[in-house]
Structure 1
């Protein structure tokens, strides 16, 4: 048995957030020289949106971690893992297989947040950086990218597409936060706390001035549309036009002006359904 390889795999499991619970069964499988095997682990999680650190753990998270042995040597590789999330009172079980190389070494906790519909920022080696690393360039830089799963669809492999938003996409979290009437981000230290919370894929619980009231809200980053998602105390989404009524009025006014300036087209447009009815009327009834 390759002891160095075993230690590397144990460290990989620890880095991914699985701790040391699987070390004994991992070593046993490698000693038996099983060519391909999977190890499983299950845990309970509090809902990601929960404000109470002592809230009941109602979400079941299961992992199936896949290993295989090299055909050319006695080395084993941790290729990917399947994660399954079952939420209380939700009949839909969410699944995703994360490939360590392709999906930027997503950790177990990051996988949970992504499957919960959240976005997070992670420093990764992009393709050009990976080539530099492979060539031994220690100066190769990691790039911060936002990650989000498209939970509405699955691809040919049954996975939800993992979307990446690079810096050139233009999502500036600092500017985005500054646009919202959030109560407690005036000091640099508090701003940094909010930034860290959102970049790690967590909800930040605060108050926001909506209308003339300070309303308790929970916010998360939404890099795809370059905004924040805002929820009330019951986790019901507060729409952007409610937060920014003046902007909404200006937008509607502009749309009305654009419609008014459009040329008027003739209303004498044939309507297929009217034509169908006319044909039906003229048709003789058969005997």
Structure 2
């Protein structure tokens, strides 16, 4: 068995979200020197489960004994719903994780760099091949269209989610660090915990990106949809100020008092400077007047 090939595939599966335990079964299969083989995998997402069948095959260059992870047939199992199955293909780069694939099957989308594809004819068949260029976009599944194998077609959307995020009354969204913490899981298609500022009250909610409708969706703890209106920046700034923590109120009060004290200390100095300036102006005017009189006498 090619240990280098094993390590590569093992690490690939780990970073894609299939865990470490699958490595033992992977080694057992590769040691048998099979041309093709498959491995089962199950992962839970709350009450949901993704049951996967991972498919592997040998490379064309038999002398190198390389094994590749090609695709996975994933089945989404949700309480009270019929199972949903989708086949996902995997390559060397730009692969979506198991978490992102689950989010897609659950109706959400993921945002990341993707390869540009172009049709290429090979052995009488036209296939989509990477061109070498990439682009950033949201990618999900088009549940209204499927191919002849029953796989849903990908749906790509271009949408400025970072700009959209700042239009909602979300606590902390004005701070760059807090905003980045919201954006990272949002781009994976995850449900993000946020605090909404509504009528002066803080309301916990789940936030989800909806690129298809070019908006953000919000849900309460029971999964019920919340109606959240976008706000003007001025109104939002006022809401953010109302929601200052006690520590922030203290720091703001101390800073304001320091500014006022500094202003009072500077005031006498400013008055003295003004008197000195007026005095200098008077002396100058007197000199000019004497010079004028002398000129008239001459």
Query: Do the two structures share a fold, i.e. TM-score over 0.5?
Result: yes
Q: Which bin holds the TM-score, normalised by the shorter protein?
A: 0.5 to 0.7
Larger Rg: 2
Q: 1:201 aligns with which of 181, 184, 189?
A: 189
Higher helix share: 2
Paired residue secondary structure (1:25): helix
Q: Residues 148, 103 of structure 1: CA spacing in aligned structure 2 closer, same or farther, 3 A cutoff?
A: farther
**Residue in structure 2 matched with residue 93 of structure 1 by the alignment:** 83
Q: Deviations over 1:144-184 (max 9, x none)?
A: 3211122355332111222123xxx3x11122112223233
TM-score, length of structure 1 as denominator length: 0.66
**Residue in structure 2 matched with residue 158 of structure 1 by the alignment:** 150
Deviation at 1:187, TM superposition (A): 1.7
Kindly indicate whether residue 97 of structure 2 is the aligned counterpart of residue 111 of structure 1: no
* Paired residues, number: 220
Whole-angstrom CA distance in 2 between matches of 1:22 and 1:244:
46
Whole-angstrom CA distance in 1 between matches of 2:93 and 2:144:
19
Contact 1:40/1:65, CA 8 A, preserved across alignment = yes
Q: Deviations over 1:116-155 (max 9, x none)?
A: 22222122333489544xxxxxxx7x53321112235533
Contact 1:210/1:243, CA 8 A, preserved across alignment = no
Deviation at 1:193, TM superposition (A): 1.6
Kindly indicate whether residue 55 of structure 2 is the aligned counterpart of residue 63 of structure 1: no
TM-score, length of structure 2 as denominator length: 0.64
User: Where do 5+ consecutive residues of structure 2 fail to align?
Assistant: 119-128, 233-298
Whole-angstrom CA distance in 1 between matches of 2:146 and 2:19:
30
Deviation at 1:222, TM superposition (A): 1.3
Higher strand share: 2
Contact 2:169/2:231, CA 8 A, preserved across alignment = no
Q: Residues 71, 187 of structure 1: CA spacing in aligned structure 2 closer, same or farther, 3 A cutoff?
A: closer
Whole-angstrom CA distance in 2 between matches of 1:42 and 1:189:
35
Whole-angstrom CA distance in 1 between matches of 2:84 and 2:92:
20
Contact 2:208/2:217, CA 8 A, preserved across alignment = yes
Contact 2:196/2:204, CA 8 A, preserved across alignment = yes
